[in-house]
Each structure stands twice: as C-alpha cells, then as structure tokens.
Amino acid sequence: MRHTLEQALTDAIQTAGIDCHGQALDLHAPNQSSHGDYATAIAFRLAKVMKQAPTQIAETFIQALQPAMATQATLSQINGFINITLTPSARLLHIEAKAEYPVTPRRILLEFVSANPTGPLHIGHGRWAVLGSCLANLLRAVGHRVDTENYINDAGNQIALFTASVAAAKAGEAIPEDGYHGAYIQTIANGNTDPVTHMLSQHESDLAAIGTHFDHWFREHTLHANTAIPDALAHLKTHCYTHDEAVWFKSTAFGDDKDRVLVKSDGSLTYFAVDIAYHWNKLHRDYDQLINIWGADHHGYVPRVSAAVQALQNGHTQTELTVLIGQLVSLVRDGEPVRMSKRSGDMIYFRDVIDDIGADATRFFLIHKSSDSHIELDLDLAHQKTAENPIFYIQYAHARICQLLQKVGDPPDVTIHQIADAYTEADRPLLQCLMHSTDTLLDAADAYAPHQLATYALELARHFHRFYETNPVLTSTGVQKAYRLWVIGQVQQTLQRVLGILGISAPTRM
C-alpha cells in the first residue's frame, strides 16, 4: 500500500510542478493512528533549501496534492508533518487488494545450518534453522526465487575423529582423548549404519520436527571426488603467491586484513581452500545472489570468503554474496552459564527443546528476536517461558476467528462500498494494522529480518482481540454483520499468511 500511495503522490507532485530538490516523500506510519494512515516529514527536509517554515511548505504541498487525492484521502498538517488519512472505503479496498510487491525478482541460494555431522544439532543450530527457513519463506513471499541448501562438512579431521570414536566404542575400547564423548556415540556404535549417514538422517529428522526442509544437501566430499578444488584454485592463480613453501591467497587485495593460506607447507589443503571450491561451485549455478547465514563465531571468516568470491569473478560481480551474521544462543542454569562442548558431550540438543516446548513455541521463541541480539535461554525457566510465549496469544486469535466463521457459514455477498458504511473510528488501528501487512513484509524482506513479522503478528492479534471484545458478530445484523465478518476474515487470512511464513501452525481450534 505504501508504495502505490507514494507513487500517486509523487506523480501529483510532478504534475503540480513542485521541486523536491531530490528529497523523497519517505512515507511512514505515524506512531499515533489518529494522525492518519501514513505521514511524511518532507517539509522539514525542504525547509532549509526552500527557505520557508516547515508548516508553510506542508500547506503548499497539501493545497497542491489534495485535489488529486480527493477521492481516497484527506491530507492535513500538524507542526510540519503531512498526514494522509484514507477514507474508510479506500482503506478497505487497499486491504482487500491483492498485494503486489515492487521487487525485481532474484534467484537466490540461501545456505544455513551447515552443521558438522559429528553430533546432534544443538539449540544454536536451531536458531539458524528457524531464521533461515523463515527468511526463505519471506523472500519467496515477496517474489524472489529461493533455493535452500545445507552444506555438510563430511570430510576432514573432525570426521576422522568422529568415525574413530564410533569405531572405538564399537570395539569396546576407550574413545580417543580428542575424540567425541557424547552418549550418542555409543548409540551409533550399537547400530550398523555408517556414522555420518546416521548423523545426517538424525539432522534431517530434527529439522523436519520444526518443519524445516532443504532443497539441497551439499556434501563436501563431492568436491574432493573430482577436480573441483584444483579448478577453483587455478582460477585464483593470479591472486596467489608462494611463501615459506605454502600457497597464499592475496585476500588483502580485496579488503581482508591479512593474506590467507590455501595450501599448507606440507602440501595439504586448508579448510578455506575447500570452501573456495564450494563457492566456486555455487557461482556456477546461475544465481543472482548467494546468502549465507553464519553464527557470530564465524564472523571473522567473512572478509576472506568475500574476497575469494570477488576474486573468482575477476571483479565483474554478477553474483552478489551476502553473509548474515546471527548472534549466538547461550544457556544459563542456576544463574551460571552452561558451556556447551560437542566433544565433552555437555550439550543441550535441539531435539530436546522441541520435544519439551513444541515446534511452534520453539520457532516463535527463536524468531521473535532480532538476529543481532544474543539469546539467553534459562534452562530452569524453559517451561515457564513456554507459558509466557506470546505465540499462544496469536494462535488463539486465529482459532477464535475460525470457530466463529464456522458458526456463521457462508459470508453475505456484499461490496466493499456497502460495508464501508459500518466503519467506526474505533476500528481504525485494526484496519491500519491490516493495511500495513504488505509494507511489513517488504521491509522485513529488504532487511533480511523475519523477526519483524513476529512483532507484526503480535500487534495484529492484539488489535483483533480488542476489536472482538466490543464487536459482537453473531448477534449483529445487516451491513454491520457483513462488515464485521469481513474484518475478522481479513485478520484470519493475514494471520494465516504471516504464521505460514514463520512456519508456525495456524490452528482452527486450540
């Protein structure tokens, strides 16, 4: 909605011949719904260059634009802010209109989780699983084409230690000091499947338990099985040099703070070299953008991978690399931080959390905070946190509506203009909230911030519960009944859509 309104106003400004000196309208929702549906502070930004008071500029804008907008909105001015208040029917029409997102569709490869298959997923992996799957849904919702990928490090020292640990357990021998000591090692040893295969299927089932599925599972060993690695390194050759018998990539030429080793002096490859081959592979798969979600413990790794991706494209960037860094989840027990270590086996597994508080509550708990903020999970309070989890407030709103709609049966056949007569000012916050849903989706997608949808859903549920309290539907009649049914129907559809993106169920009863 914001976009079409902005466009209409911008056109009207041009027609009126007003010079904005490059300033955009930049519509935003006023913090008080009574001010209007949208507002712009452009008068303040033009005050200096136009040498006029903001209030005066605002008046000029309003007089020039009001005629063009007359059928759908009223423009007004408070202390220089230009407020736009839509007519009730315009508001309803905008809510009902099929959302169109002004985005240029991109082909995106989104990589996340990418946990080593040397142990079960822990709560930290869970955060990336939830964030990644929500982001994929969100980007798809606004029109992008997204493939999701889980990269499996199934080669190298850690895997060797892991399989050796299982082998030792199988033989009844002591597990190597630097091996893996979790209880799951014995479980795998008791079975007959390959340890890595076993672990991967467990990852898959844990992820499925919160409704997360990947389009691709990319296994590192496939890079070693062909010439992928030497091919990729050959492409970097002009940016490499030999020093102390090791081969270095001159990543400082692309913004890194030091050069990086690709081939060690003993002739073996670094992890980075393999990762370059992996990204080289990605670059060949015809995507416009590569997005990687990494935990904050890997943020130091960003510059060198960005450098490599730039170098591989020889400065002609066709595929953009975006690395999203999420902060870590830490655990607290009895007020003391719990140190998780995969090797010692002192872990809180993601599956335990899901089984404990349920998939919906787990997803909401992990998604409703910005990925820039740390999550501290108090194990003793885990259950209480569940009871406090606002997801039930949202789901209850949806269930309430569904039960009601079921009782009503078929909705009456009326037009927007007919039901607009039943609008009252008290409904404005709810209707504005509904109208802002497409804006919210767009903003959240632009910022790669699906947590904004969780906040939005909470807000919408709150407005709905308030509306529901004072607007009986079943006992109302005529236009009023039709209007109320329409409103709650829109709430239901919007909640279902947003919860769908968050991967959380929208129950019809609870």
Kindly indicate which of the ranges 62-70, 193-201, 260-268, 343-351 contains the residues binding RNA, using the contact rule CB under 7 A.
Answer: 260-268
Shortest distance (Å) from residue 291 CB to RNA: 17
Q: d(Cα 127, Cα 368) in Å, to the nearest integer?
A: 11
Based on the shown chain and the rule CB under 7 A, indicate whether residue 473 belongs to the binding site for RNA: yes
Q: Select from 16, 55, 156, 386 the one that contacts RNA (CB under 7 A).
A: 156
Based on the shown chain and the rule CB under 7 A, indicate whether residue 390 belongs to the binding site for RNA: yes
Q: Select from 198, 224, 462, 497 the one that contacts RNA (CB under 7 A).
A: 462
Based on the shown chain and the rule CB under 7 A, indicate whether residue 465 belongs to the binding site for RNA: yes
Please report where in the chains the tokens 């499925």 appear, as a residue: 208
**Contact yes or no for 321/93 (Cβ under 8 A):** no
Shortest distance (Å) from residue 2 CB to RNA: 9
Q: d(Cα 468, Cα 462) in Å, to the nearest integer?
A: 10
Closer to RNA by Cβ: residue 89 or 371: 371
Structure tokens at 5: 């309104």
| DSSP E strand boundaries for 66-186 | 73-78, 81-86, 107-111, 145-152
- What three-state secondary structure class fits 246? strand
Based on the shown chain and the rule CB under 7 A, indicate whether residue 477 belongs to the binding site for RNA: no
**Contact yes or no for 205/197 (Cβ under 8 A):** no
Based on the shown chain and the rule CB under 7 A, indicate whether residue 372 belongs to the binding site for RNA: yes
Based on the shown chain and the rule CB under 7 A, indicate whether residue 403 belongs to the binding site for RNA: yes
Structure tokens at 76: 């007004």
**Contact yes or no for 249/310 (Cβ under 8 A):** no
Closer to RNA by Cβ: residue 216 or 374: 374
- Residues 412-441, mask of contacts with RNA (x by CB under 7 A): ---------------------------xx-
Other CB atoms within a 10 A radius of the CB of residue 164 amount to 16
Based on the shown chain and the rule CB under 7 A, indicate whether residue 451 belongs to the binding site for RNA: yes
Based on the shown chain and the rule CB under 7 A, indicate whether residue 238 belongs to the binding site for RNA: no
Structure tokens at 427: 């409904």
Report how far apart, in Å, the C-alpha atoms of 383 and of each of 36, 94, 121, 346, 378 are.
42, 41, 21, 20, 10
- What three-state secondary structure class fits 90? helix
- Residues 39-68, mask of contacts with RNA (x by CB under 7 A): x-x--xx-xx-----x--------------
Residues 66-95 that bind RNA (CB under 7 A): 78-79, 81, 83
Q: With CB under 7 A, what is the number of residues at the site for RNA?
A: 90
Residues 272-311 that bind RNA (CB under 7 A): 272, 296-301
Q: Select from 266, 334, 410, 413 the one that contacts RNA (CB under 7 A).
A: 266
Q: Select from 24, 103, 253, 426 the one that contacts RNA (CB under 7 A).
A: 24
Closer to RNA by Cβ: residue 214 or 467: 467
Helices then strands, counting H and E runs in the chain, come out as 21, 14
Kindly indicate which of the ranges 86-94, 261-269, 313-321, 494-502 contains the residues binding RNA, using the contact rule CB under 7 A.
Answer: 261-269
Backbone angles phi, psi at 284, to 5 degrees: -85, 0
Shortest distance (Å) from residue 493 CB to RNA: 17
- What three-state secondary structure class fits 245? coil
Based on the shown chain and the rule CB under 7 A, indicate whether residue 103 belongs to the binding site for RNA: no
End-to-end CA distance of the chain: 33
